[in-house]
Structure 1
Amino acid sequence: MKYFKFLLLSLTITSCNSSDNTIEEDLTPPDPTPVFYKGMDLSFQSELEDHSVTYRDVNGSPVDLLNYVTNKGTNLVRLKLWHTSQNGENTLSDVKAYATRIKNTGSNFLLDFHYSDFWADPGTQTPPVAWQNMTDEEIRIAIYEYTKDVVTQLKNQNTLPEIIQIGNKTDSGFLWNYGKVWDEFSNNWGNYAALVREAIRAVREVDTENKVKIMLHHSNVEHSIYFFTELEPFALDYDIIGLSYYPQYQTKDLNLVANKLNILATTFGKDILMVEVAYPFTLQWDDNQNNYIGSLNQIIPEFSPTPEGQKAYMEWLVTTIKNIPENHGIGFCYWAPDWVSFPNNDTSVSGGSAWENQCLFDFDHKALPALDIFSNN
């Protein structure tokens, strides 16, 4: 009888211990669900707000743009930064002020370093005037110190970006001719990589908790594999491949776009963010400025230049990104959804708008159906 009581007690204790272990395993927190970025580049906002541009919801009621789009599902806002701005816009002061507003909405922040005093792209990568005529060693120090100072200032005001982009559309390198990798400088990848490495080092030193993801940006889905292959030997410490896709400049073959994205993901094992995308809701215009897109031969045949076609394009894009292997497709960022035309702006905001027919607001500044993509994904 004593033995039976002892055995029963032992089984009870063992059972309780087993139950406790099971409970502990059940309480193990699951891996966090990866963020799917539904972003917008709102770099024009600080300038447009100076002109009191009004945006409206689908019913025509005025809205605060940033609050409206974040309530619609936007969870990433991209801002470009110029070193010593030629036109007084996109300065560090502008970025810091708007970054605070971004963070107050609960959205993520993407900082786009142009490393120039004005627009930087594959055909124009002019160093800041302050950095011209430097030696190779001096410009490496300059990019390190400048990057570190900017990121430190953002961190100190509690607006550290979630993503930092090292250069804008750097297909041909940046900071020409120091980091140029085009034409007669096609063997200059070592110098380009050294500059990128210094910028990344500056970010990592400030971001001691390793919260920031580093992105490198190429402007063309179809031709980007070459660029990232050339960088492989340098083992740069970056996290995200950033890509632009504008069908008026690139292939309109949707299968080819998807194929190239899949190859990038499986070859390099990096996350992919479609960091600049857009599509027209009309081929008409709302001011006297020529638009970047205005004819049928510039669009994708599957998607008409209508509000419905714009939305269908975005639906295709999101599906394509989400189908990138190994969940490496992490989202998109719509470029200048807010760059609308408004009365008397032909000589003000960047000489008028060349983009109003690719915005996410129509010519009455009312929200378009494509904004539903931000709510539904």
Structure 2
Amino acid sequence: MNFSKITFNIFLSCALLINSSCAKSSSHNKLPDNTGDSSGTFFVKGADIGWLPQMEASGYTFYNNNGVAQDCFQILKDHGINTVRLRTWVNPSNDPINGHCSTAETIAMAVRAKKWGMHIMIDFHYSDSWADPSKQVKPAAWVGDDFPHLLSDVYKYTLGVMQGLKDKGVTPDWVQVGNEIAGGMIYPEGSTDHWDSLAQLINEGYAAVKAVDPTTKVILHVDQGNNNQRFRTWFDSATVHHAKYDVIGMSYYPYWLTGSPDYTLSIDDLGNNLKNMASRYGKQVMVVEVGGEDNQPQDTYNMLIAVQQKVMEVPDSKGLGVIYWEPEGARSWSHYALSAWGSDGKPTHALDAFLPN
């Protein structure tokens, strides 16, 4: 759109108005328990556990703090986790690390999570494998479809997963339409180079979610939660192009920032961005991905305490909670350095950050 800067700012201010109307924390900070914070508001303490079924199928054994083999769900629950996040891929491979997470597998895991009394978030990648800021590969089955057909693909796929969950008695509390979509999703049509098309794709996902259950909240998710300019630019564009959503989701990984700086150098920026997003767009906010080094459990513990505190400090109870990405994904199995599990098969001290004080 070829607006002058002044015209654009006036338009954006009106759009935002309409849209709104429709320092390091100590480990001694009081954090909420599983049922809510001090005001009684439910606070998410979550774990993304997409690798769990593959880990179990490969024979990996989880041990509790006492060295007793136990269901991973029990261990997570005993550490204060009350929510699980599950990714879903369109037609994934059987690769143990980079595959699985099909519709059927995701539904099965969601049913299991419900039996453990967990709240549930579903993360639609709209790809056959990982989607993130570096790659948003269109599902192979959708390649060659024109744009109207692509819109239909998104709606039908989203609706199918949601209906499949409902048929098994599961209603997700939250659904992500896209994963870390700073540059868009379903390239090339859904790139942020084509914001109008991206917004239409987002809105098809939104509509499908709400068609199955209007109470499920839709999240739009961008990485680098400490980067306010990144978020303002993205969500200003989402507003101008009328993208529909309920919650702003953030990733926060100090380890992946340039130079892997200690979290103390960016935690205040995260806190300020959380507050700014909530006030600027009138939306709830959540850290839907976070993680720290598995071999630095005390530092990761401190970081998790600080992140939870920053989310809690968002005014008007708009800070919903924090989700650790694959805490159970032990490096010995996944080769991933940011889990919260040790080589002994037990959770590290980092996971204790989700326990009530």
Question: How many Å separate the matches in 2 of 1:375 and 1:249?
Answer: 26
Which letter maps to 1:235?
A: H
Aligned to 2:284: 271
Q: Which moved more, 1:230-239 or 1:171-180?
A: 230-239
Q: Structure 2, unaligned stretches of length 5 or more?
A: 1-38
Secondary structure in 1 matching 2:355: helix
Q: TM-score, normalised by structure 1?
A: 0.78
Aligned to 2:350: 370
Is 1:59 aligned to residue 66 of structure 2? yes
Question: How many Å separate the matches in 1 of 2:79 and 2:266?
Answer: 30
Moved over 6 A (4+): none
What is the Cα-based RMSD across aligned positions, in Å?
1.6
Aligned to 2:319: 329
- Cα distance change on mapping 1:80 and 1:365 into 2, 3 Å: same
Which letter maps to 2:311?
A: I
Q: Are the counterparts in 2 of residues 55 and 361 from structure 1 also a CA contact under 8 Å?
A: no
- Tell which has more relative contact order, 1 or 2 (C-alpha 8 A, sep 6+): 2
Question: How many Å separate the matches in 1 of 2:306 and 2:356?
Answer: 13
Q: Are the counterparts in 2 of residues 43 and 80 from structure 1 also a CA contact under 8 Å?
A: yes
Is 1:353 aligned to residue 334 of structure 2? yes
Q: Are the counterparts in 1 of residues 52 and 328 from structure 2 also a CA contact under 8 Å?
A: yes
Question: How many Å separate the matches in 2 of 1:308 and 1:117?
Answer: 36
Q: What displacement does 1:248 show?
A: 2.2
Question: How many Å separate the matches in 2 of 1:158 and 1:255?
Answer: 40
Question: How many Å separate the matches in 2 of 1:35 and 1:234?
Answer: 32
Question: How many Å separate the matches in 2 of 1:370 and 1:248?
Answer: 15
Which letter maps to 1:340?
A: A
Aligned with 2:186 (options 146, 164, 175): 175
Over the matched positions of the two proteins, sequence identity in percent amounts to 30
Question: How many Å separate the matches in 2 of 1:74 and 1:253?
Answer: 25
Q: What displacement does 1:106 show?
A: 0.9
Question: How many Å separate the matches in 2 of 1:106 and 1:34?
Answer: 17
Which letter maps to 2:339?
A: C
Deviations, residues 184-242 of structure 1 (Å, cap 9, x unaligned): x2xx11100001111111111111xx221110110121022211111112333311111
Aligned to 1:258: 271
Is 1:244 aligned to residue 251 of structure 2? yes
Structure number with larger C-alpha Rg: 1
Q: What displacement does 1:362 show?
A: 1.4
Question: How many Å separate the matches in 1 of 2:43 and 2:114?
Answer: 17
Which letter maps to 2:271?
A: A
Which letter maps to 1:213?
A: K
Is 1:49 aligned to residue 56 of structure 2? yes
Equivalent residues in 2 for 1:75-86, closer than 5 Å: 75-86=82-93
Aligned with 2:299 (options 282, 290, 309): 309
Aligned with 1:105 (options 103, 116, 126): 116
Aligned to 1:201: 207
Q: What displacement does 1:309 show?
A: 1.8
Aligned with 2:216 (options 200, 212, 215): 212
Aligned to 1:13: none
Aligned to 1:95: 106
- Cα distance change on mapping 1:58 and 1:71 into 2, 3 Å: closer
Question: How many Å separate the matches in 1 of 2:138 and 2:204?
Answer: 16
Q: What displacement does 1:66 show?
A: 0.9
Which letter maps to 2:109?
A: Y
Which letter maps to 1:367?
A: P
Q: Are the counterparts in 1 of residues 124 and 175 from structure 2 also a CA contact under 8 Å?
A: yes
Deviations, residues 63-99 of structure 1 (Å, cap 9, x unaligned): 1101221233211101110100033511111111111
Q: TM-score, normalised by structure 2?
A: 0.82
Question: How many Å separate the matches in 1 of 2:40 and 2:198?
Answer: 35
